[in-house]
Structure 1
Amino acid sequence: MKGWHRVLIGIAIVILGLSSSGCMRTIAAVLDIPAGKPGTKIKMNVMVPMRDGVRLATDLYMPFKDGQYPVVLTRIPYGTDGDMYKILGRYFARQGYIFIAQDVRGIENSEGDWYPLIYEIEDGKDTTEWIKKQPWYNGKIGMWGVSYFGYTQWETALDNPDVTCMCPTFTSGNMFQMVINGGALEYIMVEGWLDSMEAQVTDGEWKPDWETGYYNPPMRDAIPIDMDDIRQNPKKYTAIALLEHPGDLLGQAPGDFTPYYKTVSAPAFMISGWFDQFEQPQLDDFTAIRREGKGDARRSRLVVGPWTHGIPSNKDAEGSKLKGPRMFFQENLRWYDYWLKGIQNGVADDAPVKIFIMGENVWRDEQEWPLARTQYTNYYIHSDGTAARFPGGGGTLSLVAPEGDEPTDDYAYDPKNPMPTKGGTFQPFTGIPAGSFDQTEYMSRPDVLLYVTEPLKTGVEVTGRISVTLYASSSALDTDFTAMLIDVHPDGRHMYIQDGAIRARFREGYQTMKPLEPGKVYKYTIDLWSTSNYFLPGHRIALEISSSNYPQYNRNTNGGGIGGIQNIVVANQKIFHTKDYPTHITLPVIPR
């Protein structure tokens, strides 16, 4: 979650950094936002006490004129001493807000021990209680932040009526859903981020391990994690070990927000990206808070653009690097002005959903998510057993279900030689960019199956959640299957749209691990999350099936929980597409 931070800092230096030269009017002109009134009072490192006596370093940026003002609060694990927060603080103060930036515990000047997630509910609540006692507080608290300090908004708003509104961007209250995909660990995110936080806290060097990432713990049923024990004894637990069994975290804050939407009363303005690591969890946040939230929380809004994790900017799709940042700053300010100042600025009349349709590269307002007019359409795979042969393989994709028997498509998955990650829906790191990239170079691998439609005579819009129903057998006791939706361009490029995975031991849910019976055909459901893409006429829709995508997902050793990560087994996989085993991808087609 820290990679976005470097991106935003760079943009801040170029655009917002002008403020250090007294150029706030220039910034306002660039971003098409009001410049506000000059003058800011700043109080750095005010030590705010928590219920257990730990004090958190808190910076206040206040309008120059004394008085009571609405508050915009952000709680951050990356340190608040940088220029970016000084710039943001002065900006919000000029708009008539008190901007409060707080280091979470164990970070920079805050006391206590750093440990991800576990203290944020109580510390957030204690911070709002402190704000309520201050003479400058006018009764309204908004929250702001991206990624982890979008997550701290959800945790602070849990059963907390003092949070008036929030703007969680590229984030979710459901960290669990973000880091686990079908039982497979989002290794690139977890390893990269945890290592970066360790380097920050210890002043060490960022050295993520991209060379191993194997998975083969013993089979066992879920055992709920004792969160109170972690809070009291954080050094007993490593964060990555807690993710070994997804069922251990189900239904528990701080990892799983599912039981708690009904306690939230703050309306949220959510910004997400089709290639963001939080994309599907954030879409689920939106539907849940609109359905279950208290009062005005059901008036939450959602914007989804063609963005990866970080500042909302995509020059290729939007035509300008500034369109996304302008929307980000403009819409956040409008949201605060409406909910915290009562300004009638049109927010009440805005559509609840705004999405970017890739392919056509246009924005469109919608009244709900998922779209009520969606037609869920099955595209079935077929082949003569040569889907692994590229180019010239016999894998096809069509609306016609198999009517009889067809040869299986077979391949061997070797954990020592996984399919490399190239683009995707995750946090980008140095050398491993996220987003839509051409997959053609990997289509000729013997462990990659490809199924494609005929060139489309008319365009097809796919907007919503995608799933693959897969019938497969394996020679292993445990293995993974992966699926990827691809837009094949007339020039031969195979452009990534979305992907997902299933870890076989979790095929029946996260509570119980079950080994495979080698050679037996099982039904798997692979969740590819959501997208909005218009497959243009002349393009082809394609489905890629394999068993790895590394380092996006950690790699299954196929050992079935026996022998640890040293037990690396080659798995022989068979993919079925017959009348009895009709493997298919279900696409959310929007009629036109």
Structure 2
Amino acid sequence: MTLLSRLFGVRPGIRHPVRLRRDVEIPAADGVPLLASHYYPADVDRPPLVLLRSPYGRGNALDQLPKLLAERGYQVLYQSLRGTAGSGGRFDGFTIDPADADGTLSWLRAQPWFGGVLATGGASYLGYSQWELAGHEIPEWKIALIQDAPAEFGYRFMYPGGAFALGNALGWVQLVDRMFAGGYSVTRQLLSMITAARRLSEATLALPLNEADLVLTGHRVPWFREWIEHGPDDPYWARMDHRANVARMPPAVHLQGGWDDFFLPGMLADYAALRAAGRRVRLLIGPWGHGRGLYTRHGMPDALAALDAALLGEHPPSGVRLFVTGADRWTDVVEWPPPHESTPWHLHPGGRLSDELAPDGMPPSRYRYDPGDPTPAVGGTAVGLSAGRKDNRRVEARPDVLTFTSDLLPHDLEVIGPVRARLYARSSSSHVDYFARLCDVSPGGRSTNLCDGIVRLSEPGDVRTADIDLWPLAHRFARGHRIRLQVSSGAHPRFGRNPGTGESLATSRELRPSSHEIFHDPDRPSAIWLPVFSGAA
């Protein structure tokens, strides 16, 4: 039995003997050869097939999942996308050549062992590739299992709020380059991680930014340079936007995300679109970061239950299952977001946060931002081990970070849903970022980040309004805790620093400091809105 079966308690009723065909060559529609591994149960004739399409290689630890599926009675075709792990052609970042899917589907339908029943699965890029696959009509497709992957890549991931996701972009460049250079060897990848953090830190501070790939990898990465040369509203990103494919997704879709995953807002937008398109959608969100949820005792059984039901001709589970942080419990709701009351908490002078408006006639709060010494990000929705919930007291002690903190809560406060903030701000520069982060402050003083968001402003003006969409959450602030809002003008390297000049992100060399005022009076009531859950105890 596979390691995953034992770890996650998903032992199949019948354990089938598994066979493997390596390096199966599949011609893309343009003739480029794509390699795949074919796992199948030796004692089942033409069983349902699960298609996995990946740039991350085959024959390593990830192959535990195909083995698990095969011993449950499914075939698995684990394919390497073009330009990766022996497949021909050129890898092009998050642009997938449609010829890959064209050729794969035609080839698959011609195989005598294909029984005409298809599922897809996978996390991150493997989930994103399922949205790209839906550019085709596939009547055999019964369910898509998508973890931590949105239909659209450019705006929500690469430019959330208009700010470039520098740390995550370079972190992924480094991950892929490490795989390619190391021949997908896990040992080589682990060895290269010894100096990875230092190189990544140096690359995030590179000027101009279009040389960051050289600092990081020693060579040019064309698709990274394209990312920083094309802003969020550029037509360039249309090739990575598969939201229009929702009408061709299969009848059932299982979505799995994490509260600390950078793809979560996009996935929740996909959830709404799939429901509107009449799909049966299961949504599970747990207390983890990117790519970690499936390999848990909650994520794995839930996904397999949906897969088994769909491929056996039954109705897979729907509805929404959420982990409520702070309460450390799972809860089931009918839909996302569940019924809630969006309740404002207002910023006050002196660093207070209150559910009442601030008094009139008080001066604004002030700070200075210097991109030469950028405000750091601590935890949050970052690539790698630095992601997640961390103690933020050190960054909150910096003079370029404002904090607004509530009184001790007299009772538990449960919030589930979207979070937003509005800041009334004046800056010495037209080109500024505003970053807002919600934290839970324990009785001992630890300030733990829950969710955050950023917006980039470029229009001139006196007092401007900064509307910030933070990551959604499900959290219980316990009695005796405090609610805290951080306000700053950066979270480096999670978001690339704003140089303050308005020059091209790719070629700018100058860094210009700026001063900021945050207003909090009845005419300019800066606030954060929390989704108070109407079903809370």
Fold agreement, TM-score > 0.5: yes
2:78 is matched with 101
1:129 Cα deviation (Å)?
A: 2.6
8 Å contact from structure 1 (residues 414, 571) kept in 2: yes
Match among 201, 217, 222 for residue 210 of structure 1: 201
2:285 corresponds to which of 294, 300, 304: 304
Distance (Å, rounded) in 2 between the aligned partners of 1:187 and 1:59: 34
The whole-number CA distance in structure 1 between the counterparts of 2:478 and 2:407 is 12
* Corresponding residue to 1:425 among 381, 387, 393: 381
Equivalent residue of 2:234, what SS?
A: helix
Residue of structure 1 in register with 2:497 after alignment:
555
**Residue 213 of structure 2 corresponds to which residue in structure 1?**
none
SS of 1:325 mapped into structure 2: coil
Q: Is 1:453 aligned to residue 431 of structure 2?
A: no
- CA shift in 2, pair 1:33/1:199, >3 Å: closer
Deviations 1:368-389 (A, max 9, x none): 1111x21011111010xxxxxx
1:271 aligned residue? 256
Structure 1 distance, partners of 2:148, 2:221, is 31
**CA–CA separation in structure 2 for the residues paired with 1:536 and 1:249:** 46
2:49 is matched by which residue type in structure 1? V
Between the aligned partners of 1:486 and 1:580, the Cα distance in structure 2 is: 26
* Residue identity opposite 1:199 in structure 2: R
Residue of structure 1 equivalent to 2:312:
341
Q: d(CA) in 2 for partners of 1:325 and 1:132? A: 34
CA distance, structure 2, for counterparts of residue 214 and residue 248 of structure 1: 25
Question: Which among 212, 228, 233 is matched to residue 247 of structure 1?
Answer: 233
Q: CA deviation at 1:238?
A: 3.1
CA distance in 1, matches of 2:171, 2:69: 32
Conserved? CA contact 2:33–2:88, under 8 Å: yes
Amino acid at match of 1:211: E
Report SS of the residue matched to 1:565. Answer: coil
Distance 1:532 1:120, change over 3 A: farther
Contact 2:425-2:518 within 8 A present in 1 as well: yes
The answer to whether the 8 Å contact 2:378/2:395 transfers is no
Tell me, in whole angstroms, the C-alpha distance in 2 between the residues paired with 1:278 and 1:151. 10
- Contact map agreement 1:490 1:539 (CA 8 A) in 2: yes
**Are 2:401 and 2:488, in contact at CA under 8 Å, matched by a contact in 1?**
yes
Give 1:251 shift: 7.2
Aligned residue number for residue 42 of structure 1:
20
Residue type of the alignment partner of 1:172 = P
Unaligned stretches of 5+ in structure 2? Answer: 184-191, 210-219
CA distance in 2, matches of 1:120, 1:451: 48
Equivalence for 2:422: 469
**In 1, Cα distance between equivalents of 2:116 and 2:531:** 44
Counterpart for residue 370 of structure 1: 337
Q: d(CA) in 1 for partners of 2:62 and 2:200? A: 30
8 Å contact kept, 1:73–1:142: yes
Letter paired with 2:524: Y
Moved more, 444-453 or 33-42: 33-42
Aligned pairs for 1:262-411 within 5 A: 262-292=247-277, 295=278, 298-312=279-293, 325-342=296-313, 344=314, 348=316, 350-371=317-338, 373-383=339-349, 394-411=350-367
Q: Which residue in the other structure is 1:156 paired with? A: 133
CA deviation vs aligned residue, 1:101-159 (integer Å, no higher than 9, x gap)? 00110111111111112225442343223212111111111011111111111111234
2: CA distance between counterparts of 1:274 and 1:497?
A: 8
Over 3 Å counting, the alpha-carbon distance change for 1:122 and 1:364 in structure 2 is: farther
Moved more, 103-112 or 326-335: 326-335
Q: Residue 363 of structure 2 aligns to a residue in which SS?
A: coil
Cα displacement string for residues 61-106 of structure 1 (whole angstroms, at most 9, x for unaligned residues): 1111362110011011110121431x33332222111111001101
> Structure 2 CA distance, aligned partners of 1:83 and 1:428?
18
Q: Is the 8 A contact 2:29 2:103 kept in 1?
A: yes
The verdict on how the C-alpha distance between 1:532 and 1:83 changes in structure 2, with shifts beyond 3 A counting, is closer
Q: Is the 8 A contact 1:216 1:560 kept in 2?
A: no
- Indicate the RMSD between aligned Cα atoms, in angstroms: 2.4
Aligned pairs for 1:69-88 within 5 A:
69-85=47-63, 87-88=64-65
Matches within 5 A, 1:95-174: 95-161=72-138, 162-174=140-152
Cα displacement (A) at 1:29:
4.4
Instruction: Count matched residues.
Output: 508
Matches of 1:135 and 1:238 in 2, distance apart? 39
Deviates more, 1:559-568 or 1:486-495: 559-568
**Equivalent pair of 1:215/1:556 in contact (CA under 8 Å):** no
Q: TM-score, normalised by structure 2?
A: 0.89
Correspondence 1:486 to 2:442: no
Kindly provide the amino acid, as one letter, of the partner of residue 89 in structure 1: P
How many Å separate the matches in 1 of 2:236 and 2:471?
Answer: 19
> 361, 380, 391: which is aligned to 1:438?
391
Conservation of the 8 A alpha-carbon contact between 2:404 and 2:485: yes
For 1:530 and 1:249, the matched residues in 2 are separated by: 28
Provide the rounded CA distance (Å) in 2 between the counterparts of 1:184 and 1:27.
39
Tell whether the 8 Å contact from 2:28 to 2:101 is kept in structure 1 after alignment. no
Aligned pair in 2 of structure 1 residues 401, 47: CA closer, same or farther (>3 Å)?
Answer: same
Residues 251 and 259, structure 1, Cα contact 8 Å, conserved in 2: no
* Alpha-carbon distance in 2 for matches of 1:531, 1:252: 29
Aligned to 2:517: 574
Q: CA deviation at 1:252?
A: 1.8
Q: Is the 8 A contact 2:281 2:318 kept in 1?
A: no
The partner residue of 1:195 within 174, 178, 193 is: 174
> Are the counterparts in 2 of residues 405 and 577 from structure 1 also a CA contact under 8 Å?
no
TM (norm. structure 1) is: 0.81
Superposition map of 1:3-42 within 5 A? 23-24=1-2, 28-35=5-12, 36-42=14-20
1:537 partnered with 2:504:
no
Give identity over the alignment, percent: 30
- Does the CA contact (< 8 Å) of 2:369 and 2:513 recur in 1? yes
Following the alignment from structure 2 to structure 1, what is the Cα–Cα distance between the partners of residues 157 and 239?
14
| Deviation digits for residues 312-331 of structure 1 (CA, Å, limit 9, x no counterpart) | 28xxxxxxxxxx62223222
Partners of 1:212 and 1:574 in 2: CA distance: 31
Q: Return closer, same or farther for 1:83/1:566 CA change in 2, 3 Å cut-off.
A: closer
In the alignment, structure 1 segments of 5+ residues that lack a partner are: 1-22, 219-234, 314-323, 384-393, 506-513
Distance 1:405 1:215, change over 3 A: farther
Q: Secondary structure at the residue paired with 1:188? A: helix
Mapped to 2, the partners of 1:273 and 1:567 lie a distance apart of 37
| Structure 2 contact 131–245 (Cα < 8 Å) conserved | no
What is the match of residue 390 of structure 1?
none
Alignment deviations for residues 556-580 of structure 1 (CA, whole Å, 9 cap, x no partner):
1111227953211110111111222
Is the 2:44–2:73 Cα contact (8 Å) retained in structure 1?
Answer: no
Amino acid at match of 1:354: R
Contact 1:159-1:264 within 8 A present in 2 as well:
no
- Where 2:521 maps in the other structure, the secondary structure is coil
